[in-house]
Amino acid sequence: MTHLTRLDIAMPDDWHVHLRQGEMLEQVLPYTAAHFGRAIVMPNLQPPVVHTADALAYRDSILAILPPNSSFQPLMTLYMTETTEAADVKAGFESGVITAVKLYPAGATTNSAAGVKDLEKIYPVLEVMQEIGMPFLVHGEVVDPQVDIFDREAVFIETKLMPLRVRFPQLNIVFEHLTTQEGVDYVLSCATHTAATLTPHHLVINRNAMLVGGIKPHYYCLPVAKRERHRLALRAAATCGDPRFFLGTDSAPHPVHAKETACGCAGIFNVANALAITAQVFEQENALDKFEGFVSLNGAAFYGLPVNTERLVLERQLKPQALPANLKLSTTEVQAFDPMMDLYWSVVS
């Protein structure tokens, strides 16, 4: 392939992002709005976004502070609970306010306490979602204390996802932030109705980043980064051109004091260099011709949405680009993700 130095592509979408609320939202939103046409906005706020009315209010709070002239569109999600009502979900979807519903197994990740313990309790909602073609987004990890944290995704597939798939063969499922070879194999084994998001950080770090040479809380996220062979499987999936895989940054900002502590929370803030990292990975894999599919086309197709008409241009610079600055909040900061490799790509317009 010729050595591409310029990528002029349809505006990307971020199919998994945490925009948070309050001052954090104000600070992170301009980054997402600058590089993405749309984003699937995760509902794990405190309190979680459970009803259509909550999502409407959250969407209004986002739209109210969008940078002027921005055409960014937040795609809202509901947080599935064991008491979620199918009628509310259906009305939210059919009115265009709600795009998808997110499953957090109770206790699996940040702000998941109100999540689902018993999947059977949500069958009536899934029945309706299957019928109306509404995507079901899954944080795919079991929470059983007997299961090693590095195995929680693989065990979720076998014990939760496979039975669910048998029960709901037509449900559109997005397996969020895939981190394992088993996850890739599972998605590839599903002929229809199944897709997965991949994060930039899981394409570039393995668990050594977090654990070698001292414990590095800014590389801790969930699902936790796995061994090298899993990272290589994720890179192959992202760059092979298969439409079942698309970008979800899982950008998940936390204040530094909440990460640099005896019990630090999970989440990596990567939105400022997410596209640069992804382009660098595609270049390394000699797959820049598949980049637009991964960041701008595949997700829209799965969600049944048009491709963005705006364009985005990335250029390969001659020198490595500086790391994005940390985010400054009034009383704290959020550390920007350091991919531990040189990035030559930058968004120019």
Ligand X SMILES: NC(=O)N[C@@H](CC(=O)O)C(=O)O
Among 45, 171, 252, 279, indicate the residue that binds ligand X (CB under 6 A). 252
* Residue 115 amino acid letter: G
Least distance in angstroms from the C-beta of 202 to ligand X? 10
Question: Residue 266 binds which one of ligand X, Zn ion, none, with CB within 5 to 8 A depending on kind?
Answer: ligand X
Positions in 207-246 near ligand X (CB under 6 A):
221-222
Residue with tokens 């998941």: 112
Catalytic residue, chosen from 185, 250, 289, 342, is: 250
Pairing of strands 311-316, 245-247: unpaired
Rounded to 10 degrees, what is the CA torsion of 153, 55, 169, 226? -10
Count the residues in the chain: 349
DSSP string, 283-344: HHTT-GGGHHIIIIIHHHHHHT-PPPSSEEEEEE-SSPPPPPPPEE-SS-EEPBP--SS---
Backbone dihedral region of 224: left (phi > 0), alpha (psi from -120 to 50 degrees) or beta? beta
Question: Residue 33 binds which one of ligand X, Zn ion, none, with CB within 5 to 8 A depending on kind?
Answer: none
Positions in 258-317 near ligand X (CB under 6 A):
266-267
Residue with tokens 């500086």: 322
Residue 13 or 250: the one with the smaller Cβ distance to ligand X is 250
Is 343 annotated in some ligand binding site? Answer: no
Residue 270 or 308: the one with the smaller Cβ distance to ligand X is 270
Positions in 60-119 near ligand X (CB under 6 A):
109-110
Is residue 14 part of the contact set for Zn ion (CB under 5 A)?
no
What number of chain residues touch ligand X (CB under 6 A)? 11
Among 102, 139, 207, 259, indicate the residue that binds Zn ion (CB under 5 A). 139
Is residue 109 part of the contact set for Zn ion (CB under 5 A)?
yes
Any bridge partners for residue 73, and if so which? Answer: 38
Asked whether the bond before 47 is cis by omega within 30 degrees of 0, the reply is: yes
Residue 9 or 41: the one with the smaller Cβ distance to Zn ion is 41
- E-state strands within the chain: 6-10, 13-17, 38-41, 73-79, 98-103, 136-138, 173-175, 194-198, 245-247, 311-316, 327-328, 333-334, 345-347
Is residue 250 part of the contact set for Zn ion (CB under 5 A)?
yes
Least distance in angstroms from the C-beta of 249 to ligand X? 10
Is residue 250 part of the contact set for ligand X (CB under 6 A)?
yes
Residue 153 or 250: the one with the smaller Cβ distance to Zn ion is 250
Is 18 annotated in some ligand binding site? Answer: yes
- Radius of gyration for the alpha carbons in the chain, expressed in angstroms and rounded: 19
- The yes-or-no answer on residue 185 being catalytic is no
Residue 13 sits at φ, ψ, to 5 deg, of: -125, 150
Binding residues for substrate, as ranges, are 18-20, 44, 139, 222, 254, 266
Residues carrying an active site annotation: 250
Applying CB under 6 A, the residues found at the interface with ligand X are 18, 44, 109-110, 139, 221-222, 250, 252, 266-267
Residues lying near Zn ion in the complex (CB under 5 A):
109, 139, 250
